[in-house]
Structure 1
């Protein structure tokens, strides 16, 4: 399986990942929550067994790069309540995206769409570099209160139980 070949581990938001890069040869950035690498990157994979990257919010900007497998739909909710859904995949003639930028402060979830492979693989470049202290997992209470108009779309994409964030460094 691809996840094993890439040495991916389970991610707390769903799916599988492995950090592939951190800019540790460069000075770090000072943020309100501590020092951060200027850039980090990961492989991220959704599979039939773990098809959802549950709603979460990051403080950093993230550029997603589609690689292989089945398409992945991203649901984005902007601070003003606007909802947008986009599909990352290889069929650009159908409007699928090879690259997607999600600015910090936008709620996002991802879900594997049906296809022939049973997985979808992307990479993410995060600046300033990812740290769990800069991520909030969406909860039913938080997101239903904040965006009630989108509840019917959000509900299946929210992780039901809170998971403690590991430390990044």
Structure 2
């Protein structure tokens, strides 16, 4: 036979556990806000938070133009004072730190003309999704858990669609080196048009559409 106070005791324990979990979650959110402030991060249009840490003062001429209909990942360098037609200058290299959190765990579909080298800096793991021109989907984990298959560095090729998702931990921090340097003229954010472009990947594409 249960005692009259048994039910009340169980309810009290549940309330205590709930308060403890809430306090822990509040503490984690405070730590995250402090990390964002300490690193001077701001919200990124693709999702997550970032801060640019380097932009090379040196520039090169590419065959790219901000009005090109076809975006290419190759580049033409002007050698021996030769002129590259339809040129558009870019910084040789740029770098950022990029953060995903439980509150902002997704980097939406986007693509850049430049290649990107991603470096694991700390926290949990991210999963990087890429789709090439022929619709080949690849996924790679970026993180410090080598036994789980994480990689410390990942190269994503310019011209491929990509998206990122936090898959382990409360946050994950990476560095990105972009060459030629990042320029908003070279970036495209994915829309629902991707569903028609890659009909065989509809379920995956829907996960990371911003609109």
Question: TM-score scaled by structure 2?
Answer: 0.71
Q: Which one of the candidate residues 194, 198, 205 is aligned to 1:143?
A: 194
Task: Give the unaligned 5+ runs of structure 2.
Answer: 1-33, 67-87
**Separation in 2, partners of 1:29, 1:23:** 14
Query: Counterpart in 1 of 2:42?
Result: 9
Aligned match of 1:59 in 113, 135, 148? Answer: 113
Contact residue 59 and residue 89 of structure 2 kept, 8 A = no
Contact 2:59 2:90 in 1 (8 A): no
Q: Quick check: 1:154 aligned with 2:202?
A: no
Aligned match of 1:103: 157
What pairs up with 1:110-121 in 2 under 5 angstroms?
Answer: 110-115=164-169, 118-121=170-173
Which has more strand, going by share of residues? 1
Unaligned runs of 5+ in 1: 161-169
Residues 114-140 of structure 1, C-alpha deviations (whole Å, 9 max, x = no match): 32xx11000000011001110110001
Secondary structure at 1:114 match in 2: strand
1:163 corresponds to: none
Matches within 5 A, 1:35-54: 35-54=89-108
Give the corresponding residue for 1:167.
none
In 2, distance between residues paired with 1:39 and 1:130? 7
SS at 2:40 equivalent: coil
Instruction: State how far apart, in whole Å, the 1-side matches of 2:157 and 2:95 are.
Output: 15
TM-score by length of 1: 0.89
Shift of the 97–43 alpha-carbon distance from structure 1 to 2, 3 Å rule, reads: same
Structure with greater helix percent:
2
Q: How many Å apart are 1:49 and its aligned residue?
A: 1.1
Query: Following the alignment from structure 1 to structure 2, what is the Cα–Cα distance between the partners of residues 28 and 74?
Result: 29
Secondary structure of residue in 1 paired with 2:168: coil
Q: What's 1:83 paired with?
A: 137
TM-aligned CA deviation for residue 57 of structure 1? 0.8
Query: Number of paired residues?
Result: 156
Conserved in 1, the CA contact under 8 Å of 2:95 and 2:176?
A: yes
- Partner Cα distance (1:3, 1:108) in 2: 24
Q: Deviations over 1:21-48 (max 9, x none)?
A: 0111x23334323321000000010111
